[in-house]
């Protein structure tokens, strides 16, 4: 794809993502303008409301100027005429990031991904700035720099993730090795291992907590379905109003999941000053009339403290999942103290993730008591860091300790496992061609005697009849002259045939011969249990070698006795062109190498 097409595609992806984000609040508001207001008011009012909602969803501050009647209805004093809304309805930001992820995947398919990424981010930023400027009004004024920057950041994060995902799926081993070596040069080995374990365990613990919170929120909505419906009916929003109200609540779903995770961690969240929703109990005052708030538990629960086990179990599972790889990389010597450092780092990582999410999900949602809505990010971050660190440490400590290599060698010597070593060495040498299974020798000897008798009869028959000239093509004579002498065929006499089983050298023999039987830290008896199976495979390998060896010995005996081979008798026009070779000669009837 050329640069011009890359520019056009990138710009189109950015415009499409912007249009989808704006259309989600604009379409319900437009339906409300047409159905309830009869196209009377100016449509630009609804356009500005849609843009303000989209900007609030990305965290941009919007300053609202309230008249005295509206301020009194919202519970604010007459002196409160200006309200700054700082809470972010994270559903819009999540949607923008997902659209950026899709755009990044599409841009990666072009021949200029860096140019396309920069173009797409620039076009999205320009459109965000234009939308922010178009929504400026004295009654609602969004922050210009936040309106241009924050949506662009969300889209750029999605673009970067999309590019990284496609690169990870399409990268070659050489590219991955170059990146790995560059990272190894930048960060020393021991700090890199500990840092990787900390990031993995902390991110996994936070992710499991959020997943459980999403499931718990869905269960709470189902259980409180009747209360939510009653709140809908009390508002009397109508069809268009119900659509707009539902769209706004869907935009708050990521916030509610983070609030539920804060409830499981312990500090809980607030909906207004003086309120608190935590496992210890619920204390609420006047709250906004959103139907989804009907799922908030009321009063105190005798089993509310059970929710505190969610981050503990999540940290334990994360620690147990990352323990094996971390122990293998650190080794046995000195792994205890470094795993303790990794557990503390995992707690710090999980606490930072939870604290940042709590900070992004809260803020001011209105005047009066609503200036503080959401969880306390500092409390959530500190408590979750302590819980995750303890749980990850327990997960690291759980499980069977690794066995030292010296202890494993002593155990093998005590159990007399030298036979297992000999068995592996014999099998590897057999694959190289140094050894032949016992069953193959007897089979080859029997076939050699049969071929010798047949060759003797052929020589006697030729002596009693007139000698006929053999017709050989030039290609066949050249092939016979160049072909190496096969074992079991004597060039001077066809009566004395000493055929040996033909063994094929396997390129994987060196790899199999270097297998370290001491590397397995599992039960040692597993090695000995395969001895009888390998012995039975030896005889089977000999029987599979017999057809190829017999055919080669028969052809060699016939050639020495002066008889035409099967390839010369049945050749066709194509066989004459190829020097006496037929399609049957091309078939691979040699030994079959079975997997161990």
Model confidence pLDDT, tens digit, residues 439-477: 444 444 555 554 555 555 554 444 444 444 444 444 444
Neighbours of 382 (CB within 10 A): 16
Range of the domain at 110: 3-186
Whether residues 165 and 267 fall in one domain: no
Count of domains observed in the chain: 2
Please tell me whether residues 153 and 213 are part of one structural domain.
no
Task: Provide the strand spans (E) within 90-143.
Answer: 140-142
367 in any annotated domain:
yes
**Residues 143 and 244 reside in one and the same domain:** no
What digits encode the pLDDT tens for the residues 540-586? 555 555 555 556 666 666 665 555 544 444 444 444 444 444 444 44
Q: Are residues 371 and 349 in the same domain?
A: yes
Q: Cα separations (Å) of 309 from 112, 213, 387?
A: 49, 12, 9
Picking from 368, 398, 428, the residue at the C-terminal end of a domain is 398
Q: How far apart are CA 288 and CA 299, in angstroms?
A: 18
Residues lower than pLDDT 70 in the chain: 71-80, 172-173, 175-176, 302, 332-335, 399-596
In a domain, 479, yes or no: no
Looking at residue 127, what is its pLDDT?
A: 96
Strands 373-374 and 276-278: unpaired
**β 62-65/140-142 pair status:** antiparallel
Cα separation, 254 vs 144, whole angstroms: 25
Q: What is the predicted pLDDT for the residue at 327?
A: 84
pLDDT for 440: 45
What is the helix (H) or strand (E) element at residue 162, kind and residue range? helix 144-170
Q: Are residues 175 and 208 in the same domain?
A: no
Residues 105, 231, single domain; the answer is no
Q: Is residue 308 part of a domain?
A: yes
pLDDT (0 to 100) of residue 74: 64
Q: What's the pLDDT score for residue 128?
A: 96
According to the model, what pLDDT value does residue 487 have?
A: 41
Give, to the nearest 10 degrees, the angle between helix 238-251 and helix 225-235: 130
Mark which of 128, 163, 186 sits at the end of a domain.
186
142 beta partners: 62
The answer as to whether 409 is a domain residue is: no
The pLDDT of residue 337: 83
* Whether residue 168 sits in one domain with residue 114: yes
Q: Which of 263, 256, 255, 265 is nearest to 281 (CA)?
A: 263
Distance of alpha carbon 216 from alpha carbon 330, whole angstroms: 38
Do residues 241 and 173 share a domain? no
**One domain, residues 20 and 60:** yes
Q: Which two tokens stand for residue 567?
A: 């390839």
Torsional sign, CA 238, 239, 245, 250: positive
Tell me, yes or no, whether 589 lies in a domain.
Answer: no
Q: Does residue 122 sit in the same domain as residue 203?
A: no
Task: Name the nearest CA neighbour of 388 among 205, 197, 172.
Answer: 205
In the chain, the N- to C-terminal Cα span, in Å, equals: 49
**Long-range CB contacts (< 8 A, 24+ apart) of 406-413?**
408/518, 408/521, 408/524, 409/518, 411/524, 412/518, 412/524
pTM for the whole structure: 0.67
Strand 281-283 with 270-271, pairing: unpaired
Angle CA 74–76–80, to nearest 5: 125
Q: In the 8-state DSSP scheme, what is residue 584?
A: T
Contact 273, 382 (CB under 8 A): no
278 domain residue, yes or no: yes
Final residue in a domain of this structure, among 398, 414, 439: 398
Beta bridge partners of 167: none
The answer to whether residue 343 sits within a structural domain is yes
Are residues 203 and 228 both part of a single domain? yes
| Closest listed residue to residue 140, CA positions, set 23, 60, 69, 242 | 60
295: closest CA among 332, 353, 249?
Answer: 249
Task: Yes or no: say if 394 and 368 are a contact pair by the CB < 8 Å rule.
Answer: no
Q: What is the dihedral of CA 411, 417, 422, 427, to 10 degrees?
A: -100
Closest of 419, 596, 431 to residue 513, by C-alpha:
431
Same domain, 178 and 208: no
Residue 204 lies inside a defined structural domain of this protein: yes
What's residue 561's pLDDT? Answer: 56
């Amino acid at each position: 794809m050329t640069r011009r097409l890359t520019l056009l595609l990138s710009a189109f992806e950015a415009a499409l993502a912007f249009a989808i984000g704006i259309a989600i609040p604009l379409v319900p508001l437009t339906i409300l303008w047409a159905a309830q207001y009869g196209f009377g008011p100016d449509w630009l009012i609804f356009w500005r409301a849609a843009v303000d909602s989209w900007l609030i969803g990305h965290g941009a501050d919007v300053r609202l100027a309230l008249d005295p009647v509206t301020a009194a209805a919202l519970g604010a004093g007459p002196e409160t005429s200006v309200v700054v809304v700082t809470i972010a309805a994270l559903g819009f930001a999540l949607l923008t990031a997902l659209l950026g992820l899709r755009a990044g995947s599409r841009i990666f398919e072009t021949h200029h991904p860096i140019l396309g990424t920069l173009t797409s981010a620039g076009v999205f930023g320009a459109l965000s700035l234009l939308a922010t400027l178009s929504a400026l009004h004295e009654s609602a004024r969004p922050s210009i720099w936040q309106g241009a920057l924050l949506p662009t950041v969300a889209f750029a994060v999605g673009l970067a993730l999309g590019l990284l995902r496609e690169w990870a799926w399409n990268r070659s081993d050489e590219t991955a090795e170059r990146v790995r070596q560059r990272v190894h040069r930048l960060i020393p080995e021991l700090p890199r291992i500990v840092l990787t374990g900390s990031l993995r365990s902390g991110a996994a613990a936070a992710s499991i907590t959020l997943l459980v919170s999403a499931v718990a929120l869905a269960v709470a909505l189902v259980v409180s379905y009747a209360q939510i419906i009653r709140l809908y009916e009390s508002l009397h929003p109508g069809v268009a109003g119900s659509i707009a109200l539902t769209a706004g609540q869907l935009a708050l779903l990521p916030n509610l999941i983070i609030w539920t995770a804060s409830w499981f961690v312990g500090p809980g969240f607030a909906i207004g000053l003086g309120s608190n929703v935590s496992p210890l109990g619920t204390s609420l005052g006047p709250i906004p009339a959103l139907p989804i708030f009907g799922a908030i538990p009321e009063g105190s629960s005798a089993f509310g403290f059970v929710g505190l086990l969610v981050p503990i179990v999540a940290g334990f599972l994360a620690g147990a999942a990352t323990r094996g790889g971390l122990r293998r990389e650190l080794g046995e010597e000195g792994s205890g103290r470094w795993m303790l450092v990794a557990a503390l780092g995992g707690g710090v990582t999980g606490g930072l993730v939870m604290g940042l999410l709590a900070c992004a999900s809260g803020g001011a949602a209105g005047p009066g008591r609503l200036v503080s809505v959401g969880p306390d990010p500092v409390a959530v971050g500190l408590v979750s860091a302590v819980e995750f660190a303890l749980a990850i440490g327990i997960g690291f400590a759980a499980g069977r300790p690794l066995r030292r290599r010296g202890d494993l060698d002593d155990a093998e010597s005590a159990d007399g496992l030298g036979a297992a070593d000999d068995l592996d060495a014999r099998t590897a040498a057999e694959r190289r061609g140094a050894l032949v299974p016992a069953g193959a020798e007897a089979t080859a000897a029997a076939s050699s005697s049969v071929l010798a008798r047949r060759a003797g009869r052929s020589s006697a028959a030729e002596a009693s009849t007139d000698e006929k000239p053999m017709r050989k093509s030039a290609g066949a004579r050249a092939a016979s002259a160049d072909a190496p002498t096969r074992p079991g065929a004597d060039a001077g006499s066809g009566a004395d045939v000493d055929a040996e089983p033909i063994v094929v050298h396997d390129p994987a023999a060196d790899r199999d011969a270097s297998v370290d039987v001491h590397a397995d830290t599992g039960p040692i008896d597993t090695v000995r249990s395969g001895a009888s199976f390998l012995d039975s495979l030896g005889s089977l390998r000999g029987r599979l070698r017999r057809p190829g060896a017999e055919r080669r010995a028969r052809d060699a005996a016939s050639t020495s006795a002066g008889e035409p081979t099967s390839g010369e008798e049945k050749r066709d026009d194509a066989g004459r062109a190829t020097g006496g070779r037929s399609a049957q000669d091309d078939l691979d009837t040699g030994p079959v190498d079975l997997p161990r």
